[in-house]
Amino acid sequence: MIYRNLAKPILFQIDPERAHHLTVDGLGAASRLPGMASLIEAICGVKSDPATTVSLCGLTFPNPVGLAAGLDKNAKAVRGFASLGFGFMEVGTVTPRPQPGNDKPRLFRLPAEEALINRMGFNNVGAEAMAAHLKRAGRQSIPIAVNIGKNKDTPNERAEDDYRKCVRTLYPYGDFFVVNISSPNTPGLRNLQHGAELQSLVSAVKDEMKRASEAAKLPLKPVFVKIAPDVTETELEFMVESLVAGGVSGVIATNTTIGRDGLTHPHAKETGGLSGKPLTSRSTDIVRAVYRMTGGKLPIIGSGGIFTPQDAYEKIRAGASLVEVYTALIYKGPGLLRELNEGLLELLRRDGFSHISEAVGTGAGA
């Protein structure tokens, strides 16, 4: 209530990107003060429940609701976000070298649609600086995923080198890794989602994960691939086939969309990726399709337009083992996490499920 009645009205009067930095930097600074992370957890934290504790890919998630990539791009507030009640979080997208991203303005609110449009362009401090931030933050009580990408000026034929560099630099600090080949804001990036390019990239990342594991004397860590919603069924089939053949640990469905159907806000004309409520149904459809195409054997993290417990539950029933939020957190505040987790428990009990894993895929159809 404090966020919606006090903080949000103030933040929404500020330029969206400035508000973003104020929030992340403020949370990061606050969480580094002695005892503050524990205080944040006491006020905002979510109590873990055995019915919604998820074991996936050798990792334990205290609850199924995570933070999507893009909010903490540089891993500056990991301790703070972990204290808010997330079950896991992504940091990034990070590239090997620092880059400023696209020209400003590049982040736009669409309040009537409860949506955002961004064309940030992987603005980040680079892999080495992120590694330092994660090292300083230390181990967390939730799994941390490192979302990796390529620099804008790296041609696609050399993209593998960038992903390899990110893995080498950050391997000791991530619990799992996410390969971002689906942002619409880096020219040509989405071409890596298809055919031989996808197969080659997956092979390179898997190889580098193995090398990094051996070099650091650490266990081999899971690698997920984040896919776009703007694909045909045939394209999705080929994509999923390549991912399964490449042995990835799972899929995140989906990234933002370039679609603008039904939008009325003047900012709808802005280029970039659309997130929020307009993406809810399409991302759930992609989750369902991937689940059916793989017979439920490839783990899925559902992302896109999750604002209510029912939204999250529909993605789980479509085939997602975990879900992520971003835009809804901007519009509803940290109370969203408790709302989603408590609501999911009620929905599971209503339908007679004793554990969330029993609900996964029950709405995917034959």
Known catalytic residue at 183:
yes
Among residues 83, 183, 242, 321, which one is catalytic? 183
Burial class (CB in 10 A: 0-12, 13-18, 19+), 120: buried
Q: Which two tokens mark 6?
A: 């006090």
**Contact, 149 vs 122, CB < 8 A?**
yes
Identify any residues that bridge with 250 across adjacent strands, giving them in sequence order. Answer: 224
Please name every residue paired with 275 in a beta bridge, in sequence order, or none if there are none: 116
CB 240 within 8 A of CB 298: yes
CA distance from start to end of the chain:
42
**Spatial contact of 197 and 156, defined as CB atoms under 8 Å apart:** yes
Strands (E), 71-206: 88-94, 107-110, 115-118, 144-148, 176-180
How far is Cα 185 from Cα 179, in angstroms, rounded to an integer?
Answer: 15
CA-wise closest residue to 208 among 243, 241, 174, 169: 169
d(CA 330, CA 71): 10
Instruction: Give rounded-to-5 percent helix, strand, coil for the chain.
Output: 50, 15, 35
CA distance to 146, 297, 312, per residue, from 197 (Å): 22, 23, 32
Residues shown for the chain = 366
The single residue listed with the structure tokens 């991912």 is 243
As annotated, the active-site residues are: 183
